[in-house]
Amino acid sequence: MPRRVSATEARVHFGELMREVEETNQPVIVQRGGKDTVVVAPLSHRQKPELEAPEGDLEWWPMVEKVRQLVKRNLNGRELPDIAEMIRQMREERDEEILGLR
């Protein structure tokens, strides 16, 4: 039975989690709100059929292009914000809230 960890524990101890998965060659299930959401699995598991994309599911690029065009239309000529900058700002805001600076 695979080990389960919370999303917070996985985030805080991700390096250790990776090392454990690599050393034991066993997947670890990450839960959010008590529900299984994702699996951290060793790369060797990628060869297993249940982790392979079914035939036909590899036709995703045209869908990505359609989404890009839709986003571009909805922006009405505005530039997309820099995602790295957005993440940095959100982390700063979170840290300020945690430290009680806000």
Q: Report the percent of the chain where pLDDT is more than 90.
A: 40
Correct CATH for 3-49 of 3.40.640.10, 3.90.1150.10, 3.40.1620.10, 1.10.443.10: 3.40.1620.10
Q: Which two tokens stand for residue 70?
A: 């839709």
Burial code (b: 16+ CB inside 10 Å, e: under 16) for 40-49 equals bbeeeeeeee
Q: Indicate the SS3 state at residue 68.
A: helix
20-49 mean pLDDT = 86
Q: What's the whole-number average pLDDT of the chain?
A: 83
pLDDT higher than 60, residue 68: yes
Residue 57's pLDDT is what? 57
CA dihedral 82, 87, 92, 98 (to 10 degrees): 160
Where do the CATH 3.40.1620.10 domains begin and end in the chain?
3-49
Query: How far is residue 86's CA from residue 20's CA, in Å, rounded to a whole number?
Result: 32
Min mean pLDDT across 28-32, 59-63, 69-73 is at: 59-63
Q: What is the pLDDT of residue 55?
A: 56
